[in-house]
Structure 1
Amino acid sequence: MIKWAGWILTLSGAAHTLGALVVEKAARHAGTWFSGGLWHEDLSEMSTAGSAYWLSVESFGPQLVVIGLIVLWMDRRGITPPAFIAWILGIWTVIDAVVQPFTPWPLGVLAIVLLVVGARRATRSDSAAPQAVLS
């Protein structure tokens, strides 16, 4: 379950970022981004280049990839990810669902449920294992 959650998080973040860069053509503004064109931009009056930057590179997509890869890394090593990862992502997903109901937030819910259930199963199996007796 934890592995599936990690893959969902990783692929969702990658799809969001690459989709914004390629499908939404945010990458065409890279020249503006790297030439300092956004340095003095007012966020309340965002330019097209600024909007493209926040939709792609500065979105939560890249960070979601990192979180997903950390979850996968932990799972491969038999480490149960801490529950706070799922709960924080859950809060973020609820806000996303309320503010933008037509986003793929159900994938986030699925990943969160898999993380929580996987963590609980791991905790139960750890507590059911016999404890070593210290001599």
Structure 2
Amino acid sequence: MIKWAGRLIVFFGAAHTLLALTMEGAARHAGAWFSGELWGDDLGSMSDDSSAYWLSLASFGIPLTMVGLTVLWLDRRGIVPPPFIAWTLAIWTVVGAAVLLFTPWPIMLLASVLLLVGARRANHREKSAEIGR
């Protein structure tokens, strides 16, 4: 379960970033990003260049991918990811779903549940093994 949760988290984060850059066309604004045009941009009235940047490279996609990769890295080493990761993702997902209902938030909610259940089962197995010694 933990492995599937990590994979879903990586998929969601990577898909968000890649789809924003390609299908949403954010990458066509890269020239403005790297020329310094955004340095004085007003976040209250975002330009198209700034909006594309915040949708793609500065979005949650890249950090979320790193969280998923960390979950997978921990799982490969037999380390149970701490529950605060799953709880934080679940709360963040529910808030996001309340703000923007028509997004793929069920994927992240499923990943959070898988992570919580997998961590609980792994901890239960560890405690059972300790009792059996």
Deviation at 1:130, TM superposition (A): 3.2
| Cα distance in structure 2, aligned partners of 1:119 and 1:131 | 18
Percent of aligned pairs with the same amino acid: 61
Equivalent residue for 2:16?
Answer: 16
| Cα distance in structure 2, aligned partners of 1:42 and 1:92 | 26
Deviation at 1:91, TM superposition (A): 1.1
Q: Deviations over 1:88-122 (max 9, x none)?
A: 11111011100000000000110000000000001
Deviation at 1:131, TM superposition (A): 5.5
How many residues align structurally?
Answer: 133
Q: Runs of 4 or more off by more than 4 Å in structure 1?
A: none
Matched, 1:37 2:37: yes
Secondary structure in structure 2 of the residue aligned to 1:129:
helix
Equivalent residue for 1:81?
Answer: 81
Q: Which runs of 5+ in 2 are unaligned?
A: none
Secondary structure in structure 2 of the residue aligned to 1:63:
helix
| Cα distance in structure 2, aligned partners of 1:48 and 1:65 | 25
Equivalent residue for 1:120?
Answer: 120
Equivalent residue for 2:57?
Answer: 57
Deviation at 1:23, TM superposition (A): 0.7
Q: Which runs of 5+ in 1 are unaligned?
A: none
Q: Deviations over 1:56-84 (max 9, x none)?
A: 00000001100000000000111000000
| Cα distance in structure 2, aligned partners of 1:130 and 1:43 | 54
Q: Deviations over 1:5-32 (max 9, x none)?
A: 0000001100000000011110000000
Equivalent residue for 2:96?
Answer: 96
| Cα distance in structure 1, aligned partners of 2:64 and 2:129 | 33
Secondary structure in structure 1 of the residue aligned to 2:130:
coil
Pairwise CA RMSD: 1.2
